[in-house]
Amino acid sequence: MSAGPVTELTITGEVPLRGQIRLPGCKGISHRALVFAALAHGTSRITNLAPGDDVGRTCAALATLGVSVRNGDDDSAAIEIAGAGFDALREPEDVIDCGNSGTTLRLLVGLLAGRPHLSVLTGDASLRLRPMARVVRPLRALGALIDGAADAGRAPLTVRGGGLVGERVDLEVASGQVKTALVLAGLQAGGVTEIVEPAPSRDHTERMLVALGAPLERVDDRTLRVREGAPRAFELEVPGDPSSAAFFVVAAAIIPGSSIVIEGVSVNPGRVEYLDVLRAMGARIEVTISGEVLGEPVGAIAVEAAPLHGTEIFSREAIVDELPVLAVAAAFADGATEIRDAAELAVKESNRITTMHQELSRLGVAVEPRADGLVVWGGRPQGAAMTSHGDHRIAMAAAVAACGATGESTVGGWDAVAVSYPGFAEDLERLRGEG
Ligand code: S3P
C-alpha cells in the first residue's frame, strides 16, 4: 500500500487485519469540546483532539473570536483553551472560513447568533452547496438577523446577533449540528429555549453540557430545554471516533482471517447503531464498556471476520455517516442490502448516493441508486481505480472496499482524508501488517 505524491492510494486486497488500535479523537466531541471550553470561565485542557482540517477550522475560528487556543507546555499534545465566557468573544475582523466543515459552520452560526456582532461565515465549494435554511430559520425565530446566499439557504452567511429571546423551536430535520447551534443560541437567550426535533439525533452536546453543569435539561429523546448560562471549564481525553472505527470494523468483518480490537473508543449508543446493522448481517462484534468521560461511554470494539448476508437498513440520522462503509459491507455480503430513508446522504460532503453508486460500480458491484438510498447486491468485488470525489468518508470507504477486493485498487483524491483522519492509511497498513 502506498500513497503517492498525486494523492493516490494503492492497495492490494485480501490481506487480513489483525491487532489492536486506538483511534484519533471523535470529531463531533472535539468540535463541541473546543466551543464549550471557549464559553467556560477558566482554562480547559483537551487531549486526543481529533486531527484534521475540520477541527482545525473550529480552533482557528475561535482564535479569530479572541479565544486563546494553544498547545500545552508539556509533551502530552494537550490543547489548552482559556475561556472567558460569551461576553469575551470579540467581533471577527475577517470572514470566518470553515473549509469543508459543516459542523464548524453550523455550530458557529448558533454561537454568533447570540453575540452583538457582525460575522461572515463561508466554506469551500462543497460546504457552500450544503443546506443552511435548517439552521437559519430557527435562529431567526429567536431573533438573530441572518442573511446569505439563496435567502440564507446557503453559505456565505452573515450573522448580526444579540438580543435573543428564548421560545419553542421545532427543527425541520433531526440534526446534531442544528440542535447544537440552537443550544449555543439558547445559552445566550433570555427565558427558556425549547428545542424539538422530528426524531432523535446524536446527543454529544446534551451529554457533555449536562456533565459540565450548563443549564440544559433533556425533556425526552427529542426535546431539550435550555436557559441562559455556560458550562464550567474541564479536562478531557477525547475518546476515539466511532465513525472512524466503522472503517476498520467493516474491513475486519469482510476480510477472512481478520481479528482486531479497537480500544478507547466512544461507544455512545447513538453513534454505534451501525454495529447492530453489521451484527444483523452476521458480523461477529463484541463491545466492552470500560468507563465514561463527560457523560460519554467509552470502551473497546472487538471484531472477527465472518460471512455476511444482506439486510434492510432503515437509516436514522444516527447512522448516516457510516452508510458509505455499510454499503461496502453489503458489497461483500450474500444477497441484497437495501438502504432506505437516507435522503440526507445526498447533502453530505458529496452526494453520497451518487458517489457510492459510482465507486462500487467500478468494482463490478451491482448497485441501484434511489432517491433515499441504495440497493447493493453483494458478490466478489474486483480491484479497480476509484476516486474520493473530494469526500473523506468516500475515500476511506473506497479504501476498505479495496482491502476486501481481489487484486490491486487505487483511490484517487486520497488527500480528502485530511479533513478528518490524515493518518488513516498508515493505521490501516499497521493492522494489515500484523498478520
Ligand atoms: C454531526 C452531525 C451529523 C453528522 C456530521 C457531524 C455533528 O450531521 O453527519 O458528520 O457533529 O453534530 P447532521 O447534523 O447534518 O445530521
What's the mean pLDDT in 194-214?
A: 97
Residue 250: predicted pLDDT:
98
Q: Are residues 274 and 173 in the same domain?
A: no
Q: Which residue among 175, 207, 241, 323 has the greatest number of ligand 1 atoms within 8 angstroms of its CB, and so is best to mutate?
A: 175
> Which ligand 1 atom minimizes the distance to the CA of 31?
11
Q: Which CA distances in Å does 355 have to 54, 74, 199, 324?
A: 21, 43, 26, 9
**Residue that is last in its domain, among 166, 194, 227:** 227
Q: Are 238 and 46 in contact (CB under 8 A)?
A: yes
C-alpha cell at 116: 452583538
d(CA 177, CA 102): 8
Q: What is the pLDDT of residue 73?
A: 77
Q: Are residues 183 and 293 in the same domain?
A: no
Q: How many Å lie between the centroid of ligand 1 and the Cα of residue 88?
A: 28
Q: Is 321 within 8 Å of 295 (Cβ atoms)? A: no
**What residue's CA is closest to ligand 1, atom 4?**
321
- Averaged pLDDT for residues 304-333: 93
The verdict on residue 235 lying in a domain is no
Residue 374: strand pairing partners? 339, 369
H runs (alpha helix) in 374-420:
392-404
Q: Are residues 39 and 94 in the same domain?
A: yes
Q: Which residue's CA lies nearest to atom 2 of ligand 1? A: 176
What pLDDT shows up at residue 207? 98
**232 inside domain:** no
| Domain co-membership, 90 together with 178 | yes
pLDDT in tens, 64-112: 999 999 988 776 789 999 999 999 999 999 999 999 999 999 999 999 9
User: Of the residues 227, 249, 268, which one is the last residue of a structural domain?
Assistant: 227
pLDDT digits (tens, 9 = 90+) for 23-33: 999 999 999 99
The CB density around residue 93, as the number of other CB atoms within 10 Å, is 8
Q: What is the pLDDT of residues 379-394, one digit of tens each?
A: 999 999 999 999 999 9
Q: Identify the H or E element spanning 287.
A: strand 284-293
Q: How far is the CA of 15 from the centre of ligand 1 (A)?
A: 32
Segment 396-422 shows an average pLDDT of 97
What number of other Cβ atoms are within 10 A of residue 105's Cβ?
29
pLDDT band at residue 58 under the 50/70/90 scheme: very high
- Residue 234 domain-assigned? no
**Distance of alpha carbon 215 from alpha carbon 210, whole angstroms:** 7
Cα 319 to middle of ligand 1, angstroms: 10
Q: What is the CATH number of the domain that holds 318?
A: 3.65.10.10
Q: Check whether the bond before 269 is cis (ω within 30° of 0).
A: no
Are 314 and 370 within one domain? yes
| Residue 202 shares a structural domain with residue 133 | yes
In terms of domains, do 73 and 127 share one? yes
Q: Which atom of ligand 1 is the closest one to the Cα of 106?
A: 14
What is the whole-number distance in angstroms between the Cα of residue 380 and the centre of ligand 1?
32
pLDDT at 223: 98
Q: Which domain holds residue 307?
A: 8-24+240-431
- Residue 364 in any domain: the answer is yes
Burial of 25 per CB tally in 10 Å (0-12, 13-18, 19+): buried
Provide the pLDDT confidence category of residue 262 given band limits of 50, 70 and 90.
very high
When the pLDDT of each residue in the chain is averaged and rounded to a whole number, the result is 96
Same domain, 273 and 395: yes
Atom of ligand 1 nearest to the CA of 176: 12
Least confident of 62-76, 167-181, 226-240, 244-258: 62-76
Decide if 333 is inside a domain: yes
pLDDT, mean of residues 222-228: 98
Q: Which amino acid is at 87?
A: D
- For residues 98 and 164, membership in a common domain is answered with yes
pLDDT score for 318 = 73
Which of 227, 262, 287 terminates a domain? The answer is 227
Is 12 contained in some domain? Answer: yes
Residue 177: the pLDDT is: 98
**365 and 381 inside one domain:** yes
pLDDT digits (tens, 9 = 90+) for 109-153: 999 999 999 999 999 999 999 999 999 999 999 999 999 999 999
- In the reported structure, the alpha carbon of residue 148 is separated from the centroid of ligand 1 by a whole-number distance in angstroms of 21
The pTM is what?
0.97
Position 312 pLDDT exceeds 70: yes
Residues 256-282 have a mean pLDDT of: 97
Active-site residues, by number, are 321
Look at residue 54 and tell me if it is in a domain: yes
Mean pLDDT of 329-334: 98
Pocket of ligand 1 (CB under 6 A): 28, 103, 175-178, 180, 202, 317, 320-321
Work out the average pLDDT over 223-231. 98
Is the domain of 218 the same as that of 364?
no
Number of domains in the chain: 2
Structural domain contains residue 2 = no
Helix residue ranges, H only, 145-288 = 149-152, 176-186, 204-211, 242-254, 273-280
Whether residue 198 is found in the same domain as residue 251: no
What is the atom index within ligand 1 of the atom nearest the CA of 320? Answer: 9
